[in-house]
Amino acid sequence: MTQATKTVRLTREGFERLQRALDQEQGRLAEATRILQEQMETSADSEDTGLEDAKREKMNIEARIDELEDTLSQATIIEDHENAGRVELGAIVVLGNETTKKDMKVMVVSAPEATVTGGSLPRVSDDSPVGKELMGRKKGEAFVVNLDNGKQMKYKVKSIEY
């Protein structure tokens, strides 16, 4: 059974961050491979924990590289916004927390982009509870987010920009 390729929508900044993360992981893989080879040459004991740790680290890095390559190969960069005035991927939104009366500025992104560190703004995944409620909203709209702990948070969209 073949799985249909799913398109991953990314901002240009997010695509570049993922590409930098991939480059960084490939550098780490080269170093992990070198360390593993050294461990294999110096290890006389097949139960050597240093050797096992090196193998595990190399496997983790390879898995991360596969994940990044997969995401990048499925990526389309968000260039235009069909729903002007509404929140969609790539939007920079100022949210007012109606409980604390504090504002926060966030960028709405896809889940793969939200997991990559870096960037100037906090990112909210369109898969997260806040992101799901935020998508498609207009300036001035208020919404409630039900949190896992049973609490509710109320937000108001104060501004949307791209």
Confidence band of 1 (pLDDT split at 50, 70, 90)? very low
Question: How is domain 92-161 classified at the architecture level of CATH?
Answer: Roll (3.10)
**Is the predicted pLDDT of residue 14 greater than 90, yes or no?**
no
Q: What is the DSSP letter of 76?
A: E
Are β-strands 92-97 and 75-77 bridged in parallel, bridged antiparallel, or unpaired?
A: unpaired
The C-alpha atoms of residue 139 and residue 155 are separated, in whole angstroms, by 11
- Indicate the range of 7-11, 31-35, 90-94 predicted with least confidence: 7-11
Asked whether the beta carbons of 110 and 89 are under 8 A apart, the reply is: yes
**Is the predicted pLDDT of residue 121 greater than 60, yes or no?**
yes
Most confident by average pLDDT, 31-45, 83-97, 131-145: 131-145
* Topology (CATH) of 8-77: Helix Hairpins (1.10.287)
Confidence band of 2 (pLDDT split at 50, 70, 90)? very low
Asked whether the beta carbons of 96 and 158 are under 8 A apart, the reply is: yes
The C-alpha atoms of residue 149 and residue 133 are separated, in whole angstroms, by 17
**Is the predicted pLDDT of residue 52 greater than 90, yes or no?**
no
**Is the predicted pLDDT of residue 9 greater than 70, yes or no?**
yes
Q: pTM score, two decimals?
A: 0.68
Confidence band of 45 (pLDDT split at 50, 70, 90)? low
Q: Percent of the chain having pLDDT more than 90?
A: 48
Ordered by start, the domain boundaries in the chain are 8-77, 92-161
Confidence band of 51 (pLDDT split at 50, 70, 90)? confident
* Helix (H) or strand (E) segment spanning residue 122: none
Q: What is the pLDDT of residue 4?
A: 52
